[in-house]
Amino acid sequence: MTYKAPLKDMLFAIKHIANIDEIAKIDAFADAGFDTAQAVLGECAKFNEGVLAPLNWSADVAPSSLKNGVVTTSAGFKEAFKSYTEGGWQGLQHPPESGGQGLPKTIGAACGEMLNSANMSFALCPLLTDGAIEALLTAGSDALKATYLEKLVSGEWTGTMNLTEPQAGSDLALVRTRAEPQPDGTYKVFGTKIYITYGEHDMADNIVHLVLARVSGAPEGVKGISLFVVPKFMVNADGSLGARNDVHCVSIEHKMGIKASPTAVLQYGDHGGAVGYLVGEENRGLEYMFIMMNAARYAVGVQGIAIAERAYQKAVQYAKDRVQSRPVDGSMSKSAPIIHHPDVKRMLMTMRAYTEGCRAMASAAAAAFDAAHHHADASVRKANQAFYEFMVPLVKGYSTEMSLEVTSLGVQVHGGMGFIEETGAAQYYRDAKILTIYEGTTAIQANDLVGRKTARDGGQFAKQIAAQIEATEAALAKRDDVNCRAMLKRLSAARLAFIDVVDYIAANTKSNPNAAFAGSVPYLMLAGNLVAGWQLARSMMAALDHMAEDSSFMQAKVTTARFYADHILSKAQGVRDSIVEGAEGVTEMALEAF
């Protein structure tokens, strides 16, 4: 079976979790209410189901290839990318004045999920282009915007992010690529960049590289990093393409997953220097790059949800088709499809609940982003910006870690056949692994959550979120419903566990940093679990309120939320104990004993 977009669940989250009709009251999104969301998502589903999803398996088997410095993408990708750009999908969320459609992130995130479910390797090209667009919108000069923005927004050209070097992975203070100022105001760029997604390919006429480098004489460390636009082809005054710039692909990586996405090693300046153009001011490159990275981190979280959804769909289909053993309850006298077996249902429910919980969490974060950037009231913008920034490490960290569990369960549901590549379940497992690594590992997301989002204000904002969760508990308590009572019990216990951990992190980050950071990833996972559970509590109440609209769908929403409460949210207390009481188990082992 191929991919079928979960439109009902996406639209439910957009309507009841993101409150799209409230977003449509913002002037910039006046034409982007629920009806628009429905229409856009319907068209997006057709494209992804019909064009991209069928290429996913074949591209994994026959990935991108490099010959004489030229990368040829997998069969069908070039044509699919042409259809993608002609459909206006690259510009969906970007400003109309740059040729985009200016739709809210609330709608764009759902489209991004479909794109990644259909074909994650393909989706990485638009994802990186989005990052380049964000950086230029934020810090690019009028001249750079005039030259590059519309072509990037249309998808005629694509963009990359060039951070990593052989000696500088997550520690960007070690960046050694250099930029030498020229009399005409340009720079000559020299150095090697690795792990450059779509750093070379055949799907677009030009590639616009955003490159971190040090200007000659700049301070050491992160304070001396600048950001440059370095195009693959120079752009003439009339906008036409000119000579090839001095940037070349010397190899592409052979990877565990996302095989069809060409991950390039790029060499700058082997033939006299690559021409680069400064973005913003010298020595502020990291600040600008973080704008790209924050956009990309949210998008990678959505990738986790996307690959989990694809794995879930495949596992359900297999569980309905595979006949093996009689049901334990004696309800059938002969072997039955394995979906009748309680443990298979448990695995499928785990996959479904994680995916729906993270989708709801990402939808709530997207709504906050839209209000933070476009609401007329400055205080509303500020509050939503703080909420969105707190959510980014949760969406990225929790959603990607959960995708590993979900895709692993997908293989398990298939049994021995899951271990055979031809069934396709293994591809999702392999593809998911990179998500916890790139755009900042889970530990880096957790460091952000601990340092910037919790310790900096003594846990005050984290506790404001806990107060919002408590308000949802109060709403649950007013309902005479067995599922609401179960959710209330688990949500309340998880919130109290979260508050204990926030207090512990705030008290220990400076005085006992090893203890605080020993629990940083568990803290992130606890926070993600709680917030996803909170959004599913809201989903449960919305489904109960709208049962008459579609009783089978709404009942399934209630059942999924109840499962999440009893089987996933219930883990919070144990995680709390491991953080607050378990630091010594991490820190005390002598290094020579390893």
Give which of 112, 145, 102 is closest to 373, Cα–Cα.
Answer: 102
Helices in 251-341 by DSSP H: which ranges?
285-321
365: three-class secondary structure by DSSP: helix
> In the chain, helix, strand, coil percent, each to 5?
60, 10, 25
Residue with tokens 């600048």: 226
262: three-class secondary structure by DSSP: coil
Phi and psi, residue 154, nearest 5° = -75, -20
Catalytic residue, chosen from 113, 439, 584, 592, is 439
Q: Catalytic: 439?
A: yes
Residue with tokens 């310790």: 455
Distance between CA atoms of 52 and 80, rounded to whole angstroms?
Answer: 7
- Between strands 206-215 and 157-162, the pairing is parallel
Angle 230-235-101 from CA coordinates, rounded to 5°: 85
Give the rounded distance of the alpha carbon of 197 from its chain centre. Answer: 15
Distance between CA atoms of 38 and 14, rounded to whole angstroms?
Answer: 10
475-488 as b/e: b if 16+ CB within 10 A: ebeebeeebbebbb
Which strand (E) or helix (H) includes residue 528? helix 520-545
16-49 as b/e: b if 16+ CB within 10 A: bbbbbeebbebebbeebbbebbbebbeebbebbb
66: three-class secondary structure by DSSP: strand
- Between strands 178-181 and 206-215, the pairing is parallel
Q: Tokens in use for 572?
A: 């919070």
Distance between CA atoms of 130 and 109, rounded to whole angstroms?
Answer: 12
Residue with tokens 């309507």: 15
Helices in 322-424 by DSSP H: which ranges?
342-374, 378-414
Q: How far apart are the first and last CA of the chain?
A: 46
Distance between CA atoms of 104 and 92, rounded to whole angstroms?
Answer: 8
557: three-class secondary structure by DSSP: helix
Q: Which neighbouring-strand residues pair with 206?
A: 157
Give which of 185, 180, 224, 187 is closest to 209, Cα–Cα.
Answer: 187
Q: Which neighbouring-strand residues pair with 337?
A: 323
Which strand (E) or helix (H) includes residue 498? helix 482-508
Show which residues are catalytic.
439
